[in-house]
Amino acid sequence: MTAFNNDDVASRRHSVMRLPPARAVAMLPLALCVLATACAAPASASAARAPRFPRVSRGHPPPHARFKSPISQCDERRRDAPVDHFSFPRGGVSGVSLEARRRPRPRPRPTATYSQRYFVCARHARGADAPLFFYVGNEADVELYVNNTGLMWELAPEHGAALVFAEHRGYGRSPLGDGNLAHLTSEQAMADYATLIAELKTSDAFRSSAAVIAFGGSYGGMLSTWMRLKYPWLVAGAIAGSAPIWSFDGESPRVDAGAFAEGVTHDASEDAGANAACVGRVRAAFATMLEARRDDARRERTTMRESMRLCDALRAPEDVDDAMAWAQDAFDYMAMGNYPYPSSYILNGDGTLPAYPMRVACDAAVGFERLSGDGGHGHDDDDDDAGLLSALADAVGVFYNHSGDAACFDIRAGVNEDSRRDGDGWDWQFCTEQFMPSSRDGERDMFWKQPWNESEQIARCEKRWGVTPRVGWATTQFGGRRLSDASRIAWSNGDLDPWSRLGVNANVSDSLVAVRLVPIRPRTRCERRSLRSWTFPVVDRSSPALHFQRTFDRVGPFQPPFRLMRRVARFVVRFPFAAARITWTSCGATLTTSRA
């Protein structure tokens, strides 16, 4: 077997990491870091059958999604922001010699700017002293976060807050312009947000004394954390969902490069509500695909193409590599978007995934069970191989063929154009400052061996972008685990979120608190009847002090979780709490918190 080249796989894996924060803080099993494309090429007779799309159960949308379209309640605005906040134009003077000083100096060149988009939603703001809930934009169109960051919308009426959603430079409709890719960095983006906050606080609509709370999820959660560290005089506190701030080199203990893949696999396990046979079946399917990588495995590649209904032939081992990475991507994205209700977020607004898409995909992956009773661990003949691969195609089709109308799968078409651009932008950031080790071993996870190779990744970045990554720069810049001097930051992570293992999952201090949502199994008959509802306690290991407990009766399918999470958010904002635990089912809900 030829050696597996995981450069392209790593490029895909690091292309996008985004999840909205308040979903995790508000209710999701994820802690809040992204497609269907009909093939242009004609399908062959063997690939003419449309990929099967399993029936899905429709969950209920969260309360904020039932409101009038959130973005319709906002004003879209623009501002000219400097392309480079950290340099000064020199007016054409290239030297500092005495001769240069004596010459007449040309007029200073104007600072280059770009047009940054942001939204102001002041419907619930009460007066000029209204606090600002400021969403720190991610690596995508900011409209996704306006429409999907539920906690901000639910807290705004209670606190009389104005909401601001700022778009990250270089993404969405805030392009930096040609030749400015070098300025697509987190430091420059945070400087954008800092200057925007300063402008808003000196405008007629807000006062300089208005408190600003930063919100963000995934990469946005990392930025909201770092905004509180870097600009504490502007940002009074931060709520960061699914923020993998401890995923860089230079940490002690060393970052676990396989944590993300292990989290994806967890979502496909029985503990996460998926079919118990799913992990073994998916692992066996990838093992079958590996066999097709041999130079002389032409028959296996033909079987793979026909069974998976791929548009194009697999002529070389490198084509199999692409197909494997393409299938792996689907599980990664479905895990990141494994919400308990139908959502278009992870598809960039272009289509809708079903509730708990990983469970739906796993139901498709184990469809092969009817053909083989071996549990997916043995497949000695072509029929077994074809069945495994066909079932795997059904599973990834939940993602790639969410519309159900693709005649075949084009593994090179990627996703929609917006997602492709976002992926390119994130890969640049990965190759410069967000250099996050990531690996898979096929044992802790359901994929195949893909060890982290720093030198290969550096070579890939140099080849694609012409830059050498700053290994460990994020830890040097922001301190990594060294958070003792920080204050007033709340992190939330969900057990079903694959990024959660790389974030803050335990209290750091009295004002640096962590909330984790963990599924628990139904025990009573009432709970078993309501599996469409969730049972997620918020758990935190701290010594209990003053205890507060209250039980809510079920009012609607989503009322108790949101009511409880609003209460938790008030604890986070008003005073540091030592521990919190939430348990809810269709039979009722209980919140227990304790604080010093």
Segment 10-58, tens digit of pLDDT: 454 444 454 443 333 332 333 333 222 222 333 333 333 333 333 333 4
Buried-state track 136-159, b at ≥16 Cβ within 10 A, e below 16: bbbbbbbbbbbbbbbbbbbbbeeb
pLDDT of residue 412: 87
pLDDT of residue 205: 77
pLDDT of residue 252: 84
Query: What DSSP letter does each residue of 175-242 carry, written as one string?
Result: ---TT-GGG-SHHHHHHHHHHHHHHHHTSTTS-TT--EEEEEETHHHHHHHHHHHH-TTT-SEEEEES
Pairing assessment for the beta strands 579-585 and 113-121 based on DSSP bridges: unpaired
- Sign of the Cα torsion 257, 263, 264, 269 reads positive
pLDDT of residue 41: 34
Pairing assessment for the beta strands 162-166 and 212-217 based on DSSP bridges: unpaired
Distances in Å between the Cα of 559 and the Cα atoms of 61, 69, 554, 566 are 11, 19, 7, 11
Place of tokens 């919140």: 591
Q: Helices H, strands E: what count in the chain?
A: 19, 12
pLDDT tens across the length of the chain (596 residues): 433 444 444 454 444 454 443 333 332 333 333 222 222 333 333 333 333 333 333 445 555 555 567 889 999 999 999 999 998 876 544 445 555 555 565 555 667 999 999 999 999 998 878 899 999 999 999 999 999 888 899 999 999 999 999 999 999 999 998 899 999 999 999 999 999 999 999 887 788 888 999 999 999 999 999 999 999 999 999 999 999 999 999 888 899 999 999 999 999 999 998 999 999 999 999 999 999 999 999 999 999 999 999 999 999 999 999 999 999 999 999 999 998 889 988 988 888 999 999 999 999 998 755 444 444 444 445 568 899 999 999 999 999 998 888 899 999 886 677 888 899 999 999 999 999 999 999 999 999 999 999 999 999 999 999 999 999 999 999 999 999 889 999 999 988 999 999 999 999 999 999 998 776 555 554 544 443 333 333 333 333 322 223 333 332 333 334 454 555 555 555 544 444 444 444 444 444 444 44
Residue 113 phi, psi dihedral angles, 5° rounding: -130, 165
**If we measure between CA atoms, which residue out of 9, 47, 41 comes closest to residue 293?**
9
Place of tokens 């077997």: 1
Which residues have a Cβ under 8 Å from the Cβ of 185 and sit 6 or more positions away? 429, 432, 433
Buried-state track 423-449, b at ≥16 Cβ within 10 A, e below 16: bbbbbbbbbbbbbbbbbbeeeebbbbe
Summarised one tens digit per residue, pLDDT across range 145-172 is 999 888 899 999 999 999 999 999 999 9
pLDDT of residue 397: 94
- Reading the block at residue 338, the tokens are 């494994």
pLDDT of residue 258: 97
Q: What is the spatial distance between Cα 224 and Cα 209, in angstroms, rounded to a whole number?
A: 20
Whether the CB-CB separation of 190 and 230 falls below 8 Å is answered with yes
Place of tokens 């012409």: 466
pLDDT of residue 67: 53
Q: Please give the distance of CA 76 from its chain centroid, rounded to a whole number.
A: 24
Place of tokens 């020199």: 90
This prediction's pTM: 0.78
pLDDT of residue 69: 79
List of domains in the chain: 7-17+259-465 (1.20.120.980), 18-32+73-86+109-243+483-519 (3.40.50.1820), 522-596 (no CATH)
Question: Running DSSP on this structure, what letter comes out for residue 77?
Answer: E
pLDDT of residue 586: 43
Place of tokens 């808003």: 200
Q: What is the spatial distance between Cα 241 and Cα 500, in angstroms, rounded to a whole number?
A: 9
Whether the CB-CB separation of 589 and 561 falls below 8 Å is answered with yes
Torsion of CA 535, 536, 537, 538, to 10 degrees: -160
Whether the CB-CB separation of 253 and 171 falls below 8 Å is answered with no
Q: What is the spatial distance between Cα 572 and Cα 412, in angstroms, rounded to a whole number?
A: 45
